[in-house]
Structure formats: structure tokens, C-alpha cells
């Protein structure tokens, strides 16, 4: 592909063909338009196309093809690896396409690919419905869904992809394609974890689920030296939990408005989706009597409020580096390792999330989606974010050391959406031991589908799956 930088008049020609905005270097707003959530990924595309309707996608792709430009596709811009932007290429930004249409009778919801989790949660909650998504409301539905989608409903209703019924796409050659159980089912399979490799998704249709008006949610907070007791009790408690209880353990230095001081705390967050709050309190009681917390914050909460409860901890423009893996077990040795690293935390922000899996997530057929590992009872996401570039080395090193120390407990699986990209950490050499994300069988199926739908690898600014025809 030979790249030819477009002339100014050619951008104008493109702008005349589409409803959306063409933003190029020097335009007011270019700097904002080029940036993504992770400030480590500081790239300069030749143009950002803010499409207004899906009809804008075809001409934008044709423009990229004509000039040999790489294409980055952006939904919410929250991709940790920063795949929503590209140096010298074209960004197709779908963030204006955020309609949400709900079929109350069928309890399904169709959402534009630029919608955020907030758009979906707010619309669904008006009808007492919810789709399992992630935990920070500014995250894009598109990237989250195409990787998998972990959140507070994972045990009750599975990953986001387990609820994906259909998608509309525009392929590399501008063709509109519908993927569902009846039409192009293999393509739908690939979208369930295969990332943005197969085309530009314009809308997703999900199965939604009834949710009570308020959901019993909250945090049990533990200070040092109670972390070992808390995690040990937590590990055995989780084996008693029904699907309605999803929990995530987080180590963080509390933000000032939590009024918990400045020492790091271990937080067991939970969402109990059964309307019987007393039954949920009963389960909590079993944990708190085995491991009394230093503080608690538990209350029935409207769903959208819980879904945005930690938004302020994750502002756009921080620097971030993440690594993750499925865990085979959470035994004494795994807990000691986690706590040994937890004791190092002196910085503002978070260090890791430990997700309790199982439930509907674990019962989904391994072969039903491209997602790598349904057997893992826990998943650890190790993540740092910070502001000063001078701290890059320290935080990246912490994440890598903890990830490496957790290897003995790892299933080997990695979740696409919690992966940074090694080549964007310029000061440090890449890790040699990155585990394969899909396993050989799923990867081979994905590569055949990539060959079918994007043989020229137009969509390569992602965790890329090479077409089967290309040597790996
Ligand atoms: C603060 C924060 C909190 C998070 N919390 C969670 C969580 O709770 N659970 C969870 O599972 N994940 C979570 N994530 C990870 C998140 O799911 C991924 O980073 C995801 O890629 C973000 O999607 P996006 O649309 O915002 O990103 P973008 O950067 O816009 O897109 C990511 C990638 O998805 C692809 N893509 C985007 N739109 C399209 C499209 N329309 N068609 C085809 N491909 C497309 C492209 O490859 C693109 O590069 C979180 C991330 C952050 C930063």
C-alpha cells in the first residue's frame, strides 16, 4: 500500500460527500479529535472523520483506500492499547452514532456503534431492563462488545457478547452486511471476541434482562493489615454465591471524596441483582462475619447510578498500561503474591481488579464465542494510570512484575480489552512471553473469517488477526 498524503482540496471533496465532519491538522478541535483516553498513545492522524450517519462510512473507506491510508475505527475511544487512533492514517469516529432503540416486548435493544455504556444503561433502565456491559460509563459499547465485555452482570447474564444477537457491518469494500444467528452466523461468532477485525460495525442488537428498580450494591472496605484475612475469606465465600451476586475486588488509593484518607484500601465491590435485598444482605453477612470490614458503603441504588459510580477515578487523558490473565485458582499462594505487590502501592489510583467469574459466564459454551477461556474462576486485571510521563517506567514495571508473579496461577488466557500494546511503551523492551489470546483452534477459525471478510487487512489497527492467506 503506497501512501499519498491527500491534498487540502481532496479533504474538501470528501467533506462534500458526507454529512459528518472532516477534521485535519490545523483545524480548531484537531488536537481534541486526535486524542484517545490513554495519553500514552499520542498520535497524529492525517484526518479524523466524525461521521454523522452510517452512509458516511463508505466514502471515508474509499478515501482511505485511494490514498493508501491506514484506518483506525473509534467508538468510545477508551481502548487501552489506543487503537482508536493512528499516526498518518484516517480515524473513522462513530461517536455521534449513539441511538438506542428498545423493543420492550422482545426485551431486545439495538444500539448505534458510537454509544457509550451510559447511553445504553440510561435508555434500558427506563424500561427496567439492562444489558451486561462494563463498569465505567464513558466506555464505548463497540470496543467493549467486540472484545467481550466484563462487568457487574457477568455472573448473572454472562459477558456482553453472550447477549449479542445481531450486528450490522460495513466491510472493507463498503458492503453492508447483517450478522445474526440466521444470516452470516460465523461472522457473528467472530464479532464475539475477535475485536474490530472484520468490518466497521454500525449497530449491535442485544438481549436485555429485567433488573429491579434499585439494585443492592456497594463496597466492603479493608485496610491493611486485614487484606490477607479479607481475601482468604473472600476466596471461600465466592464458592457459595449464586449467579445474582457479582463481585470485583479492587486495590486502590481512595479518591478524596471517599473520605477514607490516603492509605491504599482493598475494596470488595458487589452487585446483587435479585430484588430480594434481604437475601443479598444475608450473603454479605456471611462474608463480613468471617472478615469484618474497616468500613462499608452498601445501599439499594438505581442501576445507571451504580454504573457510573467510579467514573471520576478514570478520567480521559491519563497515562495507562494494563495486563491481565484468567486465574486457575485463588489459593493462599496467589493471595500472598497479590498482597505482597499490594503493599507496594504508594500512588494515587488503582493497582488491580480481581473479577469473580463463573455463573452464566462459566456456563457459556467454550466454542460459542471467540472469547478465550470460560473455565477461569477468577480474572485479574493489573492496571496503572498516572499523569507524569516521568513515571511511565515505574508503573509499567509494577504491572509487568505483578503479571509475571501471577503466571504460576494463570490459565494462560488474556482478555483482549484489558491488554495494552507493548510497542507503545517506548522506554521498555517488549515482553517475550505474551500468551496467545485465542488459542490455536479459535485463531485458525478467526483467520479464515478474516480472510473471507477483510482479505487485505484493511482493519489492522487493532489486536490484529492476520488473514489466513498471510504468513503469521
Ligand atoms: C476506564 C476504562 C474502564 C474499562 N472498564 C471495562 C470494563 O468494566 N469491562 C470491560 O470489559 N472492559 C473495560 N474496559 C476496556 C474496554 O472494553 C476496551 O478498552 C474497549 O476497547 C473500549 O471500547 P471503546 O469503543 O471505548 O474504544 P475505542 O478505542 O473507540 O475502540 C476500540 C477498538 O475497537 C474497535 N472498534 C471500535 N468501534 C468499532 C466499530 N464500530 N466497528 C469495528 N470495530 C470497532 C477498533 O479496533 C478500535 O480500535 C475499560 C477501559 C477503560 C479505559
Statement to judge: residues 79 and 115 lie in one domain: no
* Residue 472 within a domain: no
CATH code of residue 165: 3.30.465.10
Contacts of 315 (CB under 8 A, 6+ apart): none
Number of domains present in the structure of the chain: 3
Statement to judge: residues 256 and 312 lie in one domain: yes
> What integer pLDDT is reported at residue 265 of this predicted model?
94
Q: Final residue of a domain: which of 178, 195, 210?
A: 210
> What integer pLDDT is reported at residue 1 of this predicted model?
64
C-alpha cell at 121: 444503561
Q: Final residue of a domain: which of 179, 210, 241?
A: 210
Check pocket membership of 83 for ligand 1, CB cut-off 6 A. yes
* Residue 454 within a domain: no
> What integer pLDDT is reported at residue 351 of this predicted model?
86
* Residue 440 within a domain: no
* Residue 62 within a domain: yes
CA–centroid distance for 106 within its chain: 27
Which residue is closest in CA terms to ligand 1's atom 41? 201
How large is the C-alpha radius of gyration of the chain?
Answer: 22
Statement to judge: residues 140 and 88 lie in one domain: no
Contact 211, 286 (CB under 8 A): no
> What integer pLDDT is reported at residue 182 of this predicted model?
98
Statement to judge: residues 194 and 232 lie in one domain: no
* Residue 141 within a domain: yes
> What integer pLDDT is reported at residue 423 of this predicted model?
67
Statement to judge: residues 152 and 275 lie in one domain: no
Statement to judge: residues 120 and 169 lie in one domain: yes
CA–CA separation, 214 and 211 (whole Å): 8
* Residue 436 within a domain: no
Average pLDDT along the chain, 472 residues, taken 10 residues at a time = 85 96 96 96 96 97 97 96 95 98 98 98 98 98 98 98 98 96 98 97 98 97 96 98 98 87 94 98 98 97 97 92 95 97 82 96 97 96 91 92 96 92 61 60 93 96 87 58
pLDDT tens per residue, range 403-449 = 999 999 999 999 999 998 776 665 555 544 334 688 889 999 999 99
Q: Is 472 exposed, middle or buried (0-12, 13-18, 19+ CB in 10 A)?
A: exposed
CA–CA separation, 119 and 95 (whole Å): 11
Domain that holds residue 83: 8-93
Statement to judge: residues 358 and 258 lie in one domain: yes
Statement to judge: residues 272 and 191 lie in one domain: no
Statement to judge: residues 167 and 273 lie in one domain: no
| DSSP labels, 19-59 | SSEEEETTSTTHHHHH--SBTT-----SEEEE-SSGGGHHH
Q: Could you give the angle at which helices 277-290 and 227-238 cross, rounded to 10 degrees?
A: 130
Q: Final residue of a domain: which of 93, 112, 133?
A: 93
* Residue 444 within a domain: no
pLDDT tens per residue, range 115-171 = 999 999 999 999 999 999 999 999 999 999 999 999 999 999 999 999 999 999 999
Statement to judge: residues 113 and 87 lie in one domain: no
CA–CA separation, 113 and 97 (whole Å): 6
CA–CA separation, 406 and 31 (whole Å): 39
Check pocket membership of 77 for ligand 1, CB cut-off 6 A. yes
CA–CA separation, 332 and 4 (whole Å): 58
Mean pLDDT of the chain: 94
3-state secondary structure of 403: helix
Q: Is 146 exposed, middle or buried (0-12, 13-18, 19+ CB in 10 A)?
A: buried
How far does the centroid of ligand 1 lie from the alpha carbon of residue 225, in Å? 36
How large a percentage of the chain has pLDDT more than 90? 86
Which residue is closest in CA terms to ligand 1's atom 19? 79
How far does the centroid of ligand 1 lie from the alpha carbon of residue 118, in Å? 14
CATH code of residue 36: 3.30.43.10
CATH code of residue 368: 3.40.462.20
Statement to judge: residues 184 and 221 lie in one domain: no
Statement to judge: residues 205 and 311 lie in one domain: no
Angle at 56 between CA 186 and CA 123, to 5 degrees: 70
Looking at the CA of residue 314, tell me the nearest atom of ligand 1: 1
Contact 203, 112 (CB under 8 A): yes
Omega prior to 225 cis, within 30 of 0 = yes
* Residue 446 within a domain: no
Amino acid at each position: 500500500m503506497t501512501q499519498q498524503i491527500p491534498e487540502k482540496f481532496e479533504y474538501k471533496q470528501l467533506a462534500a460527500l458526507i454529512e459528518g465532519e472532516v477534521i485535519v491538522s490545523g483545524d480548531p478541535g484537531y488536537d481534541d479529535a486526535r486524542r484517545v483516553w490513554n495519553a500514552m498513545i499520542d498520535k497524529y492522524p492525517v484526518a479524523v472523520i466524525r461521521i454523522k450517519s452510517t452512509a458516511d462510512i463508505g466514502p471515508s473507506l474509499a478515501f482511505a483506500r485511494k490514498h493508501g491510508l491506514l484506518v483506525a475505527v473509534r467508538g468510545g475511544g477508551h481502548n487501552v492499547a489506543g487503537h482508536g487512533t493512528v499516526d498518518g492514517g484516517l480515524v473513522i469516529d462513530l461517536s455521534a452514532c449513539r441511538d438506542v432503540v428498545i423493543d420492550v416486548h422482545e426485551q431486545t435493544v439495538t444500539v448505534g456503534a458510537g454509544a457509550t455504556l451510559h447511553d445504553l444503561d440510561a435508555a434500558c433502565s427506563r424500561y427496567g431492563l439492562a444489558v451486561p456491559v462494563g463498569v465505567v460509563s464513558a466506555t464505548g459499547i463497540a470496543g467493549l462488545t467486540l472484545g467481550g465485555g466484563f462487568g457487574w452482570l457477568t455472573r448473572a447474564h454472562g459477558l456482553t457478547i453472550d447477549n449479542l444477537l445481531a450486528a450490522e457491518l460495513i466491510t472493507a469494500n463498503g458492503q453492508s452486511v447483517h450478522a445474526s444467528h440466521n444470516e452470516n452466523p460465523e461472522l457473528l461468532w467472530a464479532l464475539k471476541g475477535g475485536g474490530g477485525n472484520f468490518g466497521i460495525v454500525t449497530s449491535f442488537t442485544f438481549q436485555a434482562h429485567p433488573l429491579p428498580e434499585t439494585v443492592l450494591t456497594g463496597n466492603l472496605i479493608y485496610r491493611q493489615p486485614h487484606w490477607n484475612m479479607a481475601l482468604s475469606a473472600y476466596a471461600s465465600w465466592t464458592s457459595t454465591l449464586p449467579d445474582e451476586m457479582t463481585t470485583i475486588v479492587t486495590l486502590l488509593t481512595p479518591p478524596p471524596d471517599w473520605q477514607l484518607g490516603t492509605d491504599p484500601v482493598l475494596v470488595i465491590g458487589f452487585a446483587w441483582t435479585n430484588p430480594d435485598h434481604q437475601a443479598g444482605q444475608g450473603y454479605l453477612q456471611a462474608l463480613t462475619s468471617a472478615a469484618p470490614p474497616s468500613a462499608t458503603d452498601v445501599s439499594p441504588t438505581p442501576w445507571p447510578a451504580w454504573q457510573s459510580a467510579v467514573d471520576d477515578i478514570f478520567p480521559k487523558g491519563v497515562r495507562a498500561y494494563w495486563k491481565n490473565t484468567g486465574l486457575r485458582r485463588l489459593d493462599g499462594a496467589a493471595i500472598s503474591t497479590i498482597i505482597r505487590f499490594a503493599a507496594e502501592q504508594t500512588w494515587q489510583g488503582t493497582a488491580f481488579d480481581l473479577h469473580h467469574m463463573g455463573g452464566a459466564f462459566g456456563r457459556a459454551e467454550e466454542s460459542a464465542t471467540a472469547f478465550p477461556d470460560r473455565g477461569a474462576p477468577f480474572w485479574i486485571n493489573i492496571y496503572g494510570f498516572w499523569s507524569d510521563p516521568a513515571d511511565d517506567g515505574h508503573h509499567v514495571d509494577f504491572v509487568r512484575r505483578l503479571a509475571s508473579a501471577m503466571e504460576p496461577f494463570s490459565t494462560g488466557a488474556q482478555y483482549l480489552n484489558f491488554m495494552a500494546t507493548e510497542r507503545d511503551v517506548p522506554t521498555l523492551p517488549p515482553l517475550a512471553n505474551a500468551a496467545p489470546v485465542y488459542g490455536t483452534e479459535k485463531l485458525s477459525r478467526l483467520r479464515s473469517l478474516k480472510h473471507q471478510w477483510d482479505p487485505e487487512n484493511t482493519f489492522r489497527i487493532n489486536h490484529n488477526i492476520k488473514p489466513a492467506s498471510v504468513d503469521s
